[in-house]
Amino acid sequence: MAKHFLRDDDITTGEQKQILDLALELKTSPYSQKPFAGPQTVAVIFDKTSTRTRVSFAVGIADLGGAPLIIDSQSSQLGGKESVADTAKVLERQVAQIVWRTYAQAGLEEMAANSKVPVINALSDDFHPCQLLADLLTIQEHKGKLAGLKLTYVGDGNNMANSYMLAGAVAGLQVSVATPVGYEPDGDVVARASEIALANGGSVSVSNSPTEAIDGADVVATDTWVSMGQESEKQERFRAFSGFTIDAALMGHAKSDAIVLHCLPAYRGYEISAEVLDGPQSVIWDQAENRLHAQKALMVWLAQSGK
């Protein structure tokens, strides 16, 4: 049975550490691992737009000796024209791994259930676990550790919030989330993340107060207020999220050496001020680069796990 990576808690604390350690190794020796030598092909499917995920998977697969096959769903039979299960059965016979950015988490689960090769979630409506591997790698590099640090996420209770809670819990972080009323993260994810955090000496808390949540934070993170697929709610969301911008005033409540993360794309002046995003505490370009190293490590680890 192949291993899959569909959500942040699909891996244990030990496995997460193994992947992050390998990512650091690959960052210094980018061409040292060739799990896809042949070259074998890896399918990377997009139902939503992307810059970072598209580039980092294409480059990463090539670095690992493989051939990336980028598929935009509009130009394939996916998306209602052919079932996910039938697509999985066709792909598994020809590709080494399947990477998919889509809407419903259930679609990814169906793909995985029907595939003998690993399936990787490249963002769904519910989670963005590849992004969190890159974020944890970035925190590790800048802070020298993970467990025990306080990470505050201010913004929408969306896929990024869910992934910060789950991956943070696996890593033993103290994760605090602040959202406007009505935009809190999914209760089941909060409960699951709290349970994992407890076992790892971490914690998860959710509130509607950005100033309280950010108090003493080592790491401050945010994300767009309008995720892909929510464009029609834009004006309503801008109103609801007023007061939730990561700006210099809010950063004043975090530790003075706190680092700032944003998965990008960013909307300066909305979820984050230009001053903070482009300022000295921001590590966003390292974070964006680390998508490459973290995902390469993930693909190597999945290739090895399947043997």
Binding region for ligand NVA (CB under 6 A)? 123, 158-160, 223-224, 227-228, 263
Using CB under 6 A as the binding rule, whether residue 123 contacts ligand CP is answered as yes
State the number of binding residues for ligand CP (CB under 6 A). Answer: 8
Q: CB nearer to ligand CP: give 197 or 283.
A: 283
Instruction: With contacts defined by CB under 6 A, name the span among 47-55, 60-68, 143-151, 182-190 that binds ligand CP.
Output: 47-55
CA distance 56 to 257: 29
Q: Which of 238, 249, 262, 240 is nearest to 179 (CA)?
A: 240
Indicate which single residue of 16, 33, 50, 222 sits in contact with ligand CP (rule: CB under 6 A): 50
Helix (H) or strand (E) holding 289: helix 284-305
Question: Applying CB under 6 A, does 167 fall inside the site for ligand CP?
Answer: no
Out of ligand NVA, ligand CP, none, which partner does residue 51 contact, by CB within 5 to 8 A per kind? ligand CP
- CA–CA separation, 190 vs 206, rounded Å? 8
The Cβ-side half-sphere exposure at 97, using a 13 Å CA radius, reads 34
* Residue 223 binding target from ligand NVA, ligand CP, none, CB below 5 to 8 Å by type: ligand NVA
Q: How far is the CB of 209 from ligand CP (least distance, A)?
A: 27
Structure tokens at 243: 């007061």
Q: Between residues 36 and 270, which has the closer beta carbon with respect to ligand NVA? A: 270
- Binding residue for ligand CP, selected from 12, 51, 77, 209, defined by CB under 6 A: 51
Residues serving a catalytic function are: 101, 128, 131, 223, 263, 291
Helix (H, G, I), strand (E, B) or coil at 23: helix
Site membership for ligand CP, residue 53 (CB under 6 A): yes
Q: Six-digit token pair at 241?
A: 């999220």
DSSP string of 143-202, one letter each residue: HS--TT-EEEEES-SSHHHHHHHHHHHHHT-EEEEE--TT-PPPHHHHHHHHHHHHHTT-
Residues that bind ligand CP (CB under 6 A): 50-53, 123, 131, 263-264
